[in-house]
Structure 1
């Protein structure tokens, strides 16, 4: 007589092993600390990102959060992927679990990068726009030209996008107990 319950062949020990493995994994989204940029004042993208996210009254930089709001915009999609990763891990399918963790990281990373363009931020100061113009940024030059004759298109200058390096540096990694398993390829 059958009970109607299908066995996957996974015992309690396998389930505990899968749970242990998964509980030691993190999907991290952000800007890794790296070498200083060559186009500025010697700061790394991680330092610039921190200054933009949190602001700096001493440097006259307003808060322009992009990381937290960018991830929050897709938290439901990411949560769904993480739940599926747990299910895959508990089913003993580590390969699928890693794939779903990668998918969660990719979704969050792409949302943060899109937020640079679509987010609402404190506007740039006129001094910053002028500095961009002096560095040859076409949008800043066009903005200043339009401003001379009245008003200017706000989309010509984006607060968090000058060279695009900060935006491109947003990535994700999958870590297991302080050991990197997978990094997004850019």
Structure 2
């Protein structure tokens, strides 16, 4: 059986891999996520305060962002490996890097969705320490005209902070 020589795709594959390495997915709360209630704080600022705590305001650290990402680290690694493989296959089958770059971007989108869901899940599952008695009291009395006092889960009152957690795929910054 004769061997046919095809087009040399080495440069296209190198470019595909360089394209993939130049992109990143960022998970968090964008500064544009809006204000949180009447406090004047943005959801991004509130997220930072809860992630690291504010001892001067008696607010304990309740990390949610890093634990949310850490708990799916293996899934992230697997998805990125599959994405790189699909990107290489797409480049080889199409003969150009555009298809490979698109596959890589899809993989980063999937990683972003996985991370967003995991971080939101950490909040939904509840974070230690539990709410202080005065916080529970304030929630019960602030919402007394409603049928239910709402959730008594730390970081969940209106749900706006949790909903503001998102991701973006972008070129890496230097």
Aligned to 2:46: 48
> Counterpart of 1:127?
134
**How many Å apart are 1:108 and its aligned residue?**
0.8
What corresponds to 1:167 in structure 2? 162
1:109 aligned partner: 116
Of residues 7, 15, 18, the one that matches 2:16 is 18
Q: How far is 1:10 from its partner?
A: 5.5
Among residues 68, 73, 79, which one is paired with 2:66 in the alignment?
A: 68
Could you tell me how far apart the structure 2 residues matched to 1:6 and 1:128 are? 72
Give the number of the structure with larger relative contact order, counting CA–CA contacts within 8 Å between residues 6 or more apart. Answer: 2
The alpha carbon displacement at 1:119 in A equals: 3.9
Which blocks of at least 5 consecutive residues in structure 1 are unaligned?
143-155, 179-186
Distance 1:96 1:165, change over 3 A: same
TM-score, normalised with respect to structure 1: 0.77
Distance (whole Å) between structure 2 residues aligned to residue 139 and residue 73 of structure 1 = 36
Cα distance change, pair 13–56 in 1 and its aligned pair in 2 (3 A): same
Measured against aligned partners, the alpha-carbon deviations of 1:15-62 in whole angstroms (never above 9, x if no partner) come to 211111111100111111126425131001110000001001111110
* Partners of 1:75 and 1:119 in 2: CA distance: 20
For residues 111 and 147 of structure 2, what CA distance do their matches in structure 1 show? 34
Secondary structure at 1:39 match in 2: coil
Match of 1:98 in 2: 105
Asked if structure 2 preserves the Cα contact closer than 8 Å seen for 1:70 and 1:113, the reply is: yes
**TM-align CA RMSD:** 2.5
Q: Which runs of 4+ in 1 moved over 3 A?
A: 137-142
Q: Residue 10 and residue 21 in structure 1: after superposition, are their counterparts in 2 closer, same or farther (change >3 A)?
A: farther
Moved more, 80-89 or 19-28: 80-89
Scaled by the length of structure 2, what TM-score is found? 0.82
